[in-house]
Structure 1
Amino acid sequence: FARTSPVSAFPANGYGVHDMIGNVWEWTTDFWSTRHQGDAPKACCVPQNPRGGPEANSYDPRQPAIRIPRRVLKGGSHLCAPSYCRRYRPAARHAEPVDTSTSHVGFRCVVRTEPIPPT
């Protein structure tokens, strides 16, 4: 595809999930920080989201006069190339100013095709 691809254009992964990387970088609710505060030993054990730091810490320290918060983008896009994207995988993350919009930044929707069995 020259740009984004239709949903389910590629086979599902081992968990039956489609399109986790490669279409658009995914906006998250986390404000950018170099590390998650109070990292748990395993990601599954983090008690709540968002896991990023406070908004005030997300500003770019290289541009102290510009106070635009940055959020975490994850996943990679159709424009990724090995020489540009960081670890082209669902867990890849980088900072993006909240006032930025491009053709390869968006969000992912989750749709359950089968009901979750009661526990």
Structure 2
Amino acid sequence: MVYIPAGEFLMGSDKKEAKKSEKPVHNVYTDGFFMDKYLVTNAQFKEFVDANPQWRKPQPSKDHIDEIYHDGAYLEHWYENNFPRGKEEHPVTKVSWYAATAYAQWVGKRLPTEAEWEKAARGGLEGMQYPWGDTIDTTKANYLFHIGSTTPVGQYPPNRYGLYDMCGNVWEWCLDAYQTRFYVKSPSHNPFSDNISMENVIYYFKEINTPRVLRGGAWGVDPNGVRVAVRLKGQPEYTIQTFGFRCVMDIDKRSTD
């Protein structure tokens, strides 16, 4: 994991490409935290479902994920309980927010808030469109169908914090509820969007039914859609081929492990 230092940053975008949901640009403080250097891979997620059969792909006469926690395409390209061979180090996809949250709990972590995610993605740079600056090309990220599928994690250069694939490859689930105009009224200190506390969202995650935030863009998204400020809305049961995730850990938890 990579340490993301406590401090302030400018969240959102006022560029001409920015959508209403990205405005206004506002100052945000987050506590320090640790973030996974890489997206969660197929190999890592297989360890989780092997240990937790209630989160396996639906299979006749076997323990498997409850139908209310996915939209029917969960782990669609897996065969029984095996991920696609040769793609062990590709990011896991077609996982719902529920499954991502369950995985995070299993490894003693959690999903990032979208403020944490954007701070980490910016890598200490202010006002830039991408994790490294204001321009993008296919040597820096997997986007715009130039590969046509996911790529192994860590294949493109990291940002200044040492994080890989913060732009493109797959969209990343965040913990927050999606609110289009959240930035208009969001707190400046460790903001989190939901009607209940972050702790309760984590504890009662199986009861959540409101849209969640996704960040980062994906392999089939255009340059405008992989900007660090872009926010995507997704129902928590969605299992899409461009949806994946990574985890974070609070400092106090890391220090006791």
Q: Could you tell me which of 88, 107, 113 is aligned with 2:245?
A: 107
- Asked whether the 8 Å contact 1:36–1:52 carries over to 2, the reply is yes
- State percent identity of aligned pairs: 36
> How far is the alpha carbon of 1:109 from its aligned partner?
4.3
Rounded to whole Å, the distance in 2 between the matches of 1:79 and 1:99 is 21
Q: Which has the larger radius of gyration?
A: 2
Corresponding residue of 2:229: 91
Q: For 1:23-38, what aligned pairs fall within 5 Å after superposition?
A: 23-36=169-182, 38=185
RMSD: 2.7
For residues 89-115 of structure 1, give each alpha carbon's deviation from its aligned partner in whole angstroms, at most 9, with x where no partner exists: 2331121111211110110246xxxxx
Rounded to whole Å, the distance in 2 between the matches of 1:101 and 1:70 is 13
Query: TM-score of the superposition, structure 1-length normalised?
Result: 0.62
Q: For 1:72-87, what aligned pairs fall within 5 Å after superposition?
A: 72-82=213-223, 86=225
Query: TM-score of the superposition, structure 2-length normalised?
Result: 0.31
The answer for unaligned runs of 5 or more in structure 1 is 56-67, 111-119
The answer for unaligned runs of 5 or more in structure 2 is 1-146, 197-208, 249-257
Aligned structure 1 segments of 4 or more residues deviating by more than 4 angstroms:
none
Q: Could you tell me which of 212, 215, 218 is aligned with 1:71?
A: 212
What is the DSSP-based 3-state SS (H/G/I as helix, E as strand, rest coil) of the residue aligned with 2:214?
strand
- Asked whether the 8 Å contact 1:35–1:52 carries over to 2, the reply is no
What is the DSSP-based 3-state SS (H/G/I as helix, E as strand, rest coil) of the residue aligned with 2:180?
coil
Corresponding residue of 1:12: 158
